[in-house]
A = this chain, B = another copy of it.
């Protein structure tokens, strides 16, 4: 995709050392923007922002967004916030019911309040296809029937969306809300490929699979995701702009296993945990209708299989991540 005509301004990027955030930072810096990055390094990786830290237009704040005072200070001078910081592991909600609400909902309220305090009124937000729950409409459009939440992660992101749109109404904010499928590619740090890679590294003969392997999921390559983010921020100028992001298809977990095993040249014996859901609250079929963003001219450059293979290749070249991520 061509370099976008995004306004050269001062962006605040939360979760700047994360998988998606660090790529956003690199892209904005390459476009000549000034970037303030914020991360608490709970899952972010300093190595991902090494290039950024060498640039004069980048400032890093190591802080927790639950710290309201420090957040307000860090937002000084910003024109627009790209809020990507999150507790992004949809599977662990059951073990820590308060964490999703704290990290995804309360943190978002703090971000919105810091924006008000600093006179910033534009925010882009990484939401999730998980908020559609077990929807009956697939592929799922942005205006699908009112969903019932199945995961604390989805509930916490839905709550954050609600706060953001209420701030748009109350305080004249403008928001871009992007509901992602799972993202793949360089700097990938968690998810099924990570888990499978780790298992196969320890023992190439055996792979344990959550669920029955029939779960149907959609995935998007990280650079396609960021193209979409920058495109909507440039092109969509309603008060509230909501877009699904994903490829025009899906795969089964078993397909993904095959691509991973081919990439690694292994043939493990597969053992399935069983059941239609990979974990409590898992949605066994996620496939988003992306006609809204495609109408703006965006289309993904990579199919799912290629995204999976690129991700495996990244992990192969960055095995330090297996140790860095417990």
Chain A interface residues (CB < 8 Å from chain B): 93-94, 97-98, 101, 105-106, 109, 112-113, 132-133, 142-152, 154-156, 158-159, 161-163, 165-167, 169-171, 240, 242, 280-281
Contact = CB atoms under 8 A, between A and B. Distances in A.
A165 to B, nearest CB: 5
A108 to B, nearest CB: 10
B170 A165 contact: no
A152 B166 CA distance: 5
A226 to B, nearest CB: 25
Closest 6 CB pairs of A and B: A155-B162, A159-B159, A149-B162, A143-B145, A150-B169, A155-B166
Contacts of A112: 97
B162 A154 contact: yes
A140 B240 CA distance: 21
Nearest to A150: B169
A305 to B, nearest CB: 31
Contacts of A240: 148
A142 B145 CA distance: 9
Contact of A158 (B97, B145, B158): B158
B154 A166 contact: yes
Given A97-B113, A101-B106, A170-B94, A145 B148 contact: no
B93 A101 contact: no
A150 B143 CA distance: 16
B152 A142 contact: no
A276 to B, nearest CB: 13
Given A101-B105, A280-B170, A150 B165 contact: yes
Nearest to A106: B101
A34 B173 CA distance: 48
A97 B112 CA distance: 10
A121 to B, nearest CB: 14
Nearest to A158: B162
A197 to B, nearest CB: 28
